[in-house]
Structure 1
Amino acid sequence: MLLDVANIHAAYGQSQVLFGISLSIAAGEVVTLLGRNGMGKTTTVRTICGLLPITSGSIAISGQAISQLRPHRIARLGVGLVPEGRHIFPNLSVRENLLMAEANPGGLPDAWTMAKVIEFFPRLGERLSNGGGQLSGGEQQMLAIGRALMTNPQLLVLDEATEGLAPVIREEIWRRLIDLKELGLAMLIIDKEVDALSTFADRHYVVEKGTVIWSGSNQALADDSAIRERFLGIG
C-alpha cells in the first residue's frame, strides 16, 4: 500500500479534530476525501504531510512510518502537496516558483522538469517571467500543481483542487488530473465537485466530525442517496 493512515487522532491545542481517521491509497489510485466544511478533511491532509502532529495512530508511506518526520522529509519520500489557497510565492516569478521545488529523490528516469511542466500547462510557459501574484486564480492553481509535480511525487495531495475557479478553468484542471491518473500518479483529492471527481476517482471517503463515516466506490456513492443528501448536500 502506498499510503496507510490507521486510526489517527489529532488536535489543535485542546481542541481535538480527528477521532480515529483511517484510509489507504494504492499506487496509481485516485481517492477522494469528501464532506462538509470543518469536518476534518484539511486536518487529515496536514497530518499526512507532517504539518500537524498526530496524538495517536500511525501514518506510513510504502510501509515506512512517517508520523514523526518533518514535512521536508515526508516530501522527499514522495508526497507532493497542492495546499488549499495555493500558497505560491507572489514575489517570485513563475520560473522561480517552479525551480525552487525541483527535486528527484527517487531518481526517476522520466522525471518532471520545468520543460515538462510547461508542456503540461502551456499557459505557465506564457507567464514564466511574471510574478506569482500577477497570475489569475486558475493560473496560480496550475502553478501550485506544477510546483508539486516538480518534486516528482509518488502521491499528489490536492486540498480544494478547484475551489473558487471559473467553470472553464475547473474543466481544464479536471482534464489535467485525469491525464496524471493515466500517467500512473496516485492522488488524494479534496473537492466539492463530487460529480466531476466521480468521473475518474477510484474510491471515496466521507468524513464527518473527524471520523470516516462511509467509504466505497463511485457506483456505491451514486447508489447511496442518504449519504449524498445528508453529508454531501447532493440530491
Structure 2
Amino acid sequence: MLLEVSNLTAAYGPSQVLFGMSLAIAPGEVVTLLGRNGMGKTTTVRTLSGLLPIRSGSIRLAGEAIDRLPPHRIARLGLGLVPEGRHIFPNLTVRENLLMAAANPLRAADPWTMDRVIEFFPRLGARLANGGNQLSGGEQQMLAIGRALMTNPSLLVLDEATEGLAPVIREEIWARLKALKGQGLAMLIIDKEVDALGEFADRHYAIEKGEVIWSGDNAALLADDSIRAKFLGI
C-alpha cells in the first residue's frame, strides 16, 4: 500500500475529533473521503500532512512512518496537499507560487515543471504575471493543484476539490483529475460531488464522528441511495 492509516486518533485541545480512523490507498488508486460537515474529514487531512499532531495510531507513506514528522518532511516523502480554501500566496505571482514549490525529492523520471503545469492548466499560462489575489476562484484552485504537482508527489490529497466553483470550472477540474489518474497518480479526494467522483474514483470511505462507518467501491455507493442519504445528506 502507498498510504496506510491505522486506528488514528486526534484532537484539538480537549476535544477529540478522530476516533480510530483507518484507511488505505494503493499506488495509482483514487480514493474518496465522504461525509457531512464537521465529521472529521479535514482533521484527517491535517493529520496526514503533519499539520495536526496525532494522539495515537499510525500513518505510513510508502512504508515509512510519517505520523511524527513535520509537514515539510512529509511533503518531501511524497504527499502533495491541496488544502481547503486553496491558501495560495496572494502577494506572489502565479509564476512565483509555482516556482516556490518546485522540487523532485523522489526523483521522478518525468517530473512536473512549470511548463508542464501550464500545459496542464492553460488558463494559468495567461496569468503568470498576475498576483494570486487577482485570480478567480477557479484559477486559484488550478494554481493550488499546480503548486502541489510541482512538489512531484506520489499521493495528491485534495480537501474540497471543487467547493464554491462555478459548474463549468468544476467540470474542468474533474477532467484534470481524471487525467492525473490516467497518469497513475494516487489521490485522496474530499468533495460533495458524488456523481462526479463516481466516474473515476476506485473506492470510497464514509466518515461519521471521526471514524469510518462505511467503505466500498463505486458500484456499492451509486447503487444504494440510502448510503448517500444517511452519510452524505444527498
Q: Deviations over 1:84-118 (max 9, x none)?
A: 00000000000000000000001112000000000
Q: How does 1:85-96 map to 2 (within 5 A)?
A: 85-96=85-96
Structure 1 gaps, min length 5: none
Aligned partner of 1:176 in structure 2 is 176
Displaced runs of 4+ in structure 1, greater than 6 A? none
TM-score, scaled to structure 2:
0.99
The Cα of 1:225 is off from its aligned counterpart by: 2.4
Provide the rounded CA distance (Å) in 2 between the counterparts of 1:108 and 1:225.
41
State the AA in 1 paired with 2:107: G
Provide the rounded CA distance (Å) in 1 between the counterparts of 2:7 and 2:87.
29
State the AA in 2 paired with 1:181: K
Q: Deviations over 1:148-197 (max 9, x none)?
A: 00000000000000000000000000000000000000000000000000
Provide the rounded CA distance (Å) in 1 between the counterparts of 2:7 and 2:133.
39
Aligned partner of 1:38 in structure 2 is 38
Aligned partner of 1:128 in structure 2 is 128
Give 3-state SS (helix, strand or coil) of 1:109's partner: coil
Q: How does 1:154-233 map to 2 (within 5 A)?
A: 154-233=154-233
Provide the rounded CA distance (Å) in 1 between the counterparts of 2:229 and 2:116.
41
Give 3-state SS (helix, strand or coil) of 1:142's partner: helix
Whether 2:103 is the aligned partner of 1:100: answer no
CA-based RMSD of the aligned residues comes to 0.5
Aligned partner of 1:11 in structure 2 is 11
Count of aligned positions? 234
The Cα of 1:224 is off from its aligned counterpart by: 2.5
Give 3-state SS (helix, strand or coil) of 1:168's partner: helix
Q: Deviations over 1:103-141 (max 9, x none)?
A: 000111200000000000000000000000000000000
Give 3-state SS (helix, strand or coil) of 1:55's partner: strand
Structure 2 gaps, min length 5: none
